[in-house]
Amino acid sequence: MASCTVASPLCTWLVAACMSMPCEKNESKSSSSSSSYCSLFQSKKKRLNRWARRIGGSGGVDFPYKRLVSAFYGSGFQGLMSSCLAFEPCEEYYSSKGLSSSLALFGDNGFSLFGSKTTSSNGLMNRRQRRLNRAAHAGKTMAVALQPAQGTPTKKPVTKQRRVVVTGTGVVTPLGHESDVFYNNLLEGVSGVAEIEAFDCSQFPTRIAGEIKSFSTDGWVAAKLSKRADKFMLYMLTAGKKALADGGISEELMNELDKSRCGVLIGSAMGGMKVFNDAIEALRVSYRKMNPFCVPFATTNMGSAMLAMDLGWMGPNYSISTACATSNFCIINAANHIIRGEADMMLCGGSDAAIIPIGLGGFVACRALSQRNSDPTKASRPWDISRDGFVMGEGAGVLLLEELEHAKKRGAKIYAEFLGGSITSDAYHMTEPHPEGTGVVLCIEKALAQSGVSREDVNYINAHATSTQAGDIKEYQALIRCFGQNPELKVNSTKSMIGHLLGAAGAVEAVATVQAIRTGWVHPNVNLENPEEGVDMNVLVGPRKEKLDIKVALSNSFGFGGHNSCILFAPYK
């Protein structure tokens, strides 16, 4: 308590003393005025020293303010100025009459550092009132001292915006583990949805998924790690390294990169569910049976961290988890690191592997999944009137984003340019979209404004459309509100062929969007046999691929919790 009661008046007196001394702006003041300041300062200094010695005691007690006063005064007034304040007095102090006017700030309610004044005819203030006054006046003094000078607005220096381009892509999907193979299958309308084979799901009402049937980490991930790590991590590591290879980052070039300016930002909605579930089962026997890596291998950040460790990339490294909007959030933030000059290269995207009993069971309990088990390839049918829920999928998608000049300097092949993106919240419901589509419209408008893109220039949209009753139509209505006047607009849903890859969906669909820009072809909407009432088939892509000269492409991702995200790509020019 003693230290609290002393600190406030001491610091306020020192601030007032510092603020009242002449400086460069006051050099024209008379020498007599400066002399009076110094005389008063020396007088106060002596009194404060005596006070410090008295309260310090002689019994060996190391009172902190004894040291503080010595530190401030030991090197003279210049030391005091440099120790106390790192800012200049404001205009109010320059126009003041000196120390006396500064001390007046303390005295208007009867407070004085070296004694007490009467506040009324009733006598001295009580101790509590003095304590409150000390704190109040200290705050008032600092507020005045820190008030910015009027009439001198600061301007942020104009800097040239750093452009971000896509120079590599990598995927692990139910339709192939190479970007070209994956997109060619999409163009042909091939479905990756089939019966689940990884475990016995005969007791579940849903027994289908966009499951990865064959996958190998050979040549991409160390064998020891492959045996221990969760699939979401293995998918991520593999897709990430494939994006580097696709971007022409050879081992020789890797050694030449400034790794402090290379980062990894790949997220996951569900994380290592299999590792965590296995740990729970082992715990039923004994904690001694648990995998010692169960915690780190289950956390959503660890895949991104492991990839950075493997590559030695020391730039920004973390993950974001926003349910099914995860990938887009990661892509937007990765691009922003490049734009702000914090990195030159970023691997970004998402990965999920939740097709296990607890994952399937959880979504069945939500009543979110299609039960069209007899005809798996027809189960995912965005905008079709007979849709009955989404189909789970798994995999990973990774983009290699790079600063334009950095990419040009190394001779990289540029696939597309990232123009910008936006994120908003519905702030409405855990799983249902806003009935008016307010959050989605706001997200699209913010993305257009942030990137400086005219809505007339957007002529291709890779929609989030998951094949749910409410989600599909609400997104479609939002798109029509924003782009309905564009006769060239074409919209499709990659989920119609691979299902919903949860946290990886946005990144895999971003790869599909980039491939559409590269090839000039947009893939079909399969299973759209009887469109929902009010859906215009002139806007939606038909059952076959369509040629399209893409000006600007928009890719949407929305997630449980009301997370909305939009990203924009365009051909590099």
Q: How many helices (H) and strands (E) does the chain have?
A: 21, 18
Q: Do residues 376 and 193 touch, judged by C-beta distance below 8 A?
A: yes
- Cα distance between residue 71 and residue 289, in whole Å: 59
Structure token digits, residue 226: 């492959």
Q: So which residues are the catalytic ones? A: 324, 464, 500
Strands (E), 339-409: 345-352, 395-403
How far CA 278 is from CA of 284, 392, 394, 502, in Å, comes to: 10, 21, 19, 21
From the centroid of its chain, how far is CA 152? 34
DSSP 3-state of 150? coil
- Rounded to a whole number of angstroms, the CA Rg of the chain reads 33
- Reported residue count of the chain is 573
Q: Beta-carbon neighbour count of residue 347 at 10 Å?
A: 31
Contact between 418 and 569 under an 8 Å Cβ cutoff? The reply is: yes
Contact predicate 472/457, CB 8 Å: no
Task: Say whether 164 sits in a helix, a strand or coil.
Answer: strand
Q: Which residues pair with 208 in a beta bridge?
A: 195
Of 355, 373, 357, nearest to 215 by C-alpha is 355
Tell whether the torsion through CA atoms of 378, 384, 385 and 389 is positive or negative.
positive
Question: Does residue 547 contact residue 520 with C-beta atoms inside 8 Å?
Answer: yes
Q: Any idea of the CA torsion for 267, 572, 258, 260, to the nearest 10 degrees?
A: -30
**HSE-up (13 A, CA, CB side) for residue 331:** 39
Helix (H) or strand (E) holding 563: strand 563-570
Nearest to 402 by CA among 249, 556, 508: 249
Per the rule left: phi > 0, alpha: psi between -120 and 50, beta: everything else, 140 is: alpha
Distance CA 453, CA 204 (A): 46
> Are 142 and 106 in contact, with CB atoms under 8 Å apart?
no
User: What is the distance between the alpha carbons of residues 219 and 479, in angstroms, rounded to a whole number?
Assistant: 43
Q: How far apart (Å, rounded) are the C-alpha atoms in residues 504 and 350?
A: 4
The torsion angles phi and psi of 330, rounded to 5 degrees, stand at -65, -40
**What is the full DSSP assignment across 424-446?**
EE--S-SSSPPTT-HHHHHHHHH
- 75 DSSP 8-state letter: T
Q: What is the DSSP letter of 156?
A: P
